[in-house]
Amino acid sequence: MKLFSKVMSGAMLVVSMGVAGVASAKTCDLSIEGSDAMQFNKKELDASGCTEVKLTLKHAGKLPKAAMGHNWVLSAAADKAKIVDSATKAGPAKDYAPTAAGVIAHTKLLAGGESETITFKTDKMKKGGDYAFFCTFPGHVALMSGKLKF
C-alpha cells in the first residue's frame, strides 16, 4: 500500500508538472516611453513568468532622431557595456544598432512621436537572471538604463 501510494503520488506529480508547463505559456504586454529629456519613464520592467514579451517603445518627445533618438535594447547586464560600444561604433548611418553578441531583443532607433512594438521569446533567459534594458544612442546609457525582472 505504501509503495502504491508512492507510485501514485509520483505519477500525479508528473501529470501536474505537465499541466503547469502548458499553463505557463504566457505573452506579456510591456510598454515604456523615452523623452526629449533623455529619460525612460520606467526604471524597471517585470517579465517574470512570461514566455513571450510584447514590448512597445514610444518616443514621447518631439526632437529628431539625429538629436535625441531612442531605442530599447535588452541583454544580460554583463553584456551591456560591449553592446553599447558596438552601437557607438555602428554609428549614425546604422542608427547606432546594437550589433554585439548578447542582444536578446531590440527596437529600432525612434524619433520623437514614433513608436514600435517588438515581440520576443524568453526561452533562452534564466529565471532570476540579471537583465538590463538601455538605449544605445551615444551618451544616453548613463540615464536611459533599467532592470528587467525575469
Instruction: Please give the residue ranges that form the binding site for Cu ion (CB under 5 A).
Output: 70, 135, 137, 140, 144
**Strand 73-76 to 27-34 pairing:** unpaired
Nearer to Cu ion, 28 or 111 (CB): 111
Residue whose CB is nearest to Cu ion in the complex, by number: 135
Nearer to Cu ion, 100 or 141 (CB): 141
Whether 81 and 31 have beta carbons less than 8 Å apart is answered as: no
Q: Residue 72 Cβ, how far from Cu ion at the closest point, in Å?
A: 9
Whether 147 and 44 have beta carbons less than 8 Å apart is answered as: yes
Nearer to Cu ion, 106 or 140 (CB): 140
For residue 58, give the C-alpha cell: 514610444
Q: Residue 56 Cβ, how far from Cu ion at the closest point, in Å?
A: 16
Tell me which H or E stretch contains 88. helix 80-90
Q: Residue 93 Cβ, how far from Cu ion at the closest point, in Å?
A: 17
Q: Residue 137 Cβ, how far from Cu ion at the closest point, in Å?
A: 4
Provide the strand spans (E) within the chain.
Answer: 27-34, 44-46, 52-59, 73-76, 103-106, 115-121, 131-134, 145-149
Nearer to Cu ion, 73 or 144 (CB): 144
